[in-house]
Structure 1
Amino acid sequence: MARACIFPGQGSQAVGMGRALAESFPQARAVFDEVDDALGQNLSQLMFEGPVEALTLTANAQPALMAASLATLRVLQAERGLDLARDVACVAGHSLGEYTALAAAGTFSIADTARLLRIRGEAMQAAVAPGQGAMAALIGPDAETARAIAAEAAQGEVCEVANDNGAGQVVLSGTKAAVERAVAIAQGRGVKRAVMLNVSAPFHCSLMAPAAEAMRAALAGVAMQAPVVPLYANVLAGPITDPATIRDALVAQVTGTVRWRESVAAMAEAGIDQFHEIGTGKVLSGLVKRIAPGATASAVGSPEDVAAFPTFG
């Protein structure tokens, strides 16, 4: 058996996230305190109590999701004896979850990860004026069909595949008019479902180029270590360990496609048959079960989940 730890992306945040862990385990509380100190903000209070409108803001949601995941991981290390270098074959994360995965594997410190994600969230939000960009989910088509729909809809504007999530779920991103055209084209072609998404910016498309440059500058000033296990990178759908390659992949990820389907398939092909989603929500676990039907996937985010987790050491 070979295990992977995977870490959720934006959209999994919810008011109350991490609160039960913080109340039950000092290791979790310590992570939340460290993130609060790094950001100079009582982010943990916002996570525990809301309001949801503030938690959903990209600049808050990204470090909050990271904090919840790493708090969970620290508890698993203390309570269940989990050692990533010994017990896990690789890590991966969806979009911002890639930063969480790298922090879990020792590439970044928790404080640096929190600050990087704050910069990333603010830069992504500022890259496109409100109302100018949009995203849409297509349910049913494969990535190639979605790419063809996006290309037809672009008409000189931007419409690109942002996420190939697998299980017939592809997300498009770009200028508002082009994405709306893509939805109409998809509906006309019998795509099972094509809907505009309620998002604050058009993530993972070329409109995010200013945010990519902001991250290039931010990452250049942060200490990086080789991860203790390989990272399956979003834009490469394959394993990397070299810090310079990781830095380039994180910059490319801002404008590039999150190749989650291919990443999970590559991990399964490499022999990974157990996936543990660490943190808030169960989105990635559900996708894994549909992409790699021979694998098991579980979500770990509560004290009860911790108690049910295998014991190592």
Structure 2
Amino acid sequence: MASLIVAVTVSVFISGCSPASKTWQLQGPTMGTSYHITVVDVPPRVVRAELQRLVDVELQQVNQEMSTYIDDSELMRFNRGPIGEAVPVSGHLADVVEMSMDIYRRSEGAFEITVGPLVNLWGFGPQPEPEQVPSDAAIEELLQQVGSDALRVERAPDRITRSRPVQIDLSAIAKGHGVDRVALLLEAQGIRNYLVEIGGELRTRGKNPKGGDWRIGIESPDPAGGVVQKPITVSGKSVATSGDYRNYYERDGVRYAHSIDPRSGRPLQHRLASVTVIADTCAEADGLATALNVLGADAGLKLAEKENLAIFMLVKTDKGFEERYSSAFEPYLERSEK
């Protein structure tokens, strides 16, 4: 199953820096994309090759727990499991499903980890693009197979129950969770200055190689990519961006984006091009970015103000893009523009 969301790339401004003592950059493939890590002032006892190995092992474990591409992953085994019975799961899987259900409730169903059948119907999963737009009847039938209200998470011991045969897909939050796992691994090694990025979702702490806060570029919704719309400085926080302007197809002159509204079963039709969220954890930023993207500019900004979320939106207009952001996002702009 393809990802429910293609995260907009977030550019990291670290080029041109004079590396401080023991500044390392690590990278590798993971989750159908790649990871990039910058660590600064690495403790003397940390060995680079061993740190790289630990990161790769941790990310392999995340994949083994949550991937829908690995047939024997913990998630896929759960999806094939019994209905109506509490299934023992790892603490990590319970954590992510529990957070997903919290965002589902806060967004009134805009964030939905069981939306996979509808994504496939519209041709954004493993199935090819449909020759014709799906019928109302086909959409309505699959809507009956979607709904996080069918899930229940119990803790100590960690168990998940499905009251009907929904299928969980965590691709809209798993990269953020992977970033958090790597960040905690680095901290366990005594590393206090780092930037961890997976597929455009990132988490920072401490100082960059120049000794300042980490400077991040939010990318403009340009199909060519690589154009920075807004630079921000952020340390000790996570950043995730969601947008729908790259993965789409057209039928009879109508553009169908890959982001599916789980409430209607249809691709998004609003004018919100991208939304960036700053939060304490990358998993929450990742999930909230998807939820707000589904809600659209007006409803998304309303939720952000209600919950004091730091968000930045780019909304399509006839002349280009309009910037909108929440009150909680303003301090990040102020620091960057001084």
TM-score, normalization by structure 1: 0.31
Whose strand proportion is higher, 1 or 2?
2
Higher relative contact order (CA 8 A, sep 6+): 1
If each structure's helix is expressed as a fraction of its own residues, which one has the higher value?
A: 1
Larger Rg: 2
TM-score by length of 2: 0.29
